[in-house]
Chains A and B, each alone.
Chain A
Amino acid sequence: MTALISSNPLTAPPVARRQPGARQRSTRLGSVFAPLVAIVVLVAIWQIASWASPLRADLFPSPVMVFQKLPALLADGSLVSATAISLWRALSGYVIAVLIATPIALILAHWAALRRGLGPLVSAMQVLPSIAWVPAAIILFGLSDATIYTVLLLGAIPSIINGLLSGVDMIPPQYRALSQVLGASRWQHIIHVELPAALPGYVGGLRQGWAFAWRSLMAAELIAVGGSLAPGIGSLLQRGRDLADLPLVMLVILSILLVGILIELLIFAPLERRLLQNRGLARAGEEKSG
């Protein structure tokens, strides 16, 4: 925050509008470039290790072997269709999770007694690995989409609830005083002050909720295979295991990573950056890590 004082304060001082300068562009480039370098180094180490390793090549495939497998996997369409199926499940399940979690969080934020009762439970659910739900869901719903969505929702909802709750908790108390002196009703306070003030925390929760949704989905797909279930990426992983096809397993793991990271980079990172910039909380081009 800059306090600019001009000789005549009643005329406009120069506004601190930041021009996207060369320096910022280079830091932005660096934030893409640095991870790329890290990946290249890691792959190189992997390659050298596979040369040096006494293990049989099928037990410790080199990166070259793994990527040689890629064209065939793309050609028969199984990787693409599995990714599409999983991505659809993840996104639709995630939207449902957001729609369920948001009102629950708002109720908890405004009902202290309920929060004292349920708050610890929600936090505990966030700690519980969602793979633990899979057997119960299979017993209840069999090998169906309902099983997959149940696990995904149980994984994502608690973290979105906690994100919104912590966003509300972090609202500066003077905003409440402001609402009060402006004569806002409880609802007006929630709509005009509380929700927008909680937005950064909420988006943080949404971001974490996405990570939980995607992980839970993989856990569910890995175990719940067959039945009426369309094969997602998780079941492709299971197939790799059945065939003892380590290159296939590695490729699927990389795809899972790639999808998670792409959603993060394309949706959440820009959303969070825009939000913070909008409030003067982050410099243009500054990357928020985490």
Chain B
Amino acid sequence: MSSETVTEPVVTVASKAAKNIPYDARLWLRHSKKFPHLWCPGCGLGIILGSSIRAFHDAGFEKDTTVVVAGIGCTGRMPVYMDCNTLHTTHGRALTFATGVKLAKPHLDVVVYMGDGDALAIGGNHFIHSARRNLNLTAIVVNNSIYGMTGGQVSPTTPHGARSTTTPRGQFARPFDTCDLAIGAGATFVARTSITNARHMQKMIHQGLKHDGFSMIEIVSNCHTSFGRLNGIPSHLDMFQQLKERTVLVKPDMDMEEEKSEGRLPLGVLHCDTTVPNYLRQKLGDVAPKPAKATGREP
């Protein structure tokens, strides 16, 4: 339309509004190729896609040197929409491919997307070993408490008692706490965020990308289509509301255990250790690996 003229927004440093104009995520989308996306209307994965791209931009990532790797599931479809180097792997194994990419070409920025089943069930072994290894990768676990793609089977994060198609009488086992698991396995940066706070999500991912070592960000998300439908919350808006009520931003001096015991999930950076040298720096000789504690024997 010829009558439509596009004017550059006037951006002044003083303009408070300008600072709030978010980076246009479309600049990193493969819009000519793979849209509309396959996610259900109302799924949090779209919000995650937007916040991720903004975080890539904030971290100064370039499309040509960014590699996005993912496993299988609804979450696993994330990379196909991103205009960078993208690798859609096998169920649970995304971190293994990412490890190969990063070791082979350390200058590439590697980000890995996994669902809760992907990362913690079939990929649980790769998850803990990647955390332990402390290679400079960012792992993003989208926790919707269910197997979304296959239609609502129980996952390792399905809450105790919750229904799924394979736990019709409720889940008998306890769920993993994704962040506790990552911290226990030695991840040097661990954060939790939620799709109900896109800005916070962007900030957490950004910090994870900047961290020198293995970073894990758990994003609490909704799957109204499967989890919601089976557990009496079929509307995505109701699920968003519940997620808001169930989460609380981490504050200094907060008693995490108490929050958890009252059923609230703390959101924020839960663990950050910058003293552990990352795997590649040791390999490349920047930092010599610390010798093991003396055992009285020569090595």
Answer whether A and B are interacting partners: no
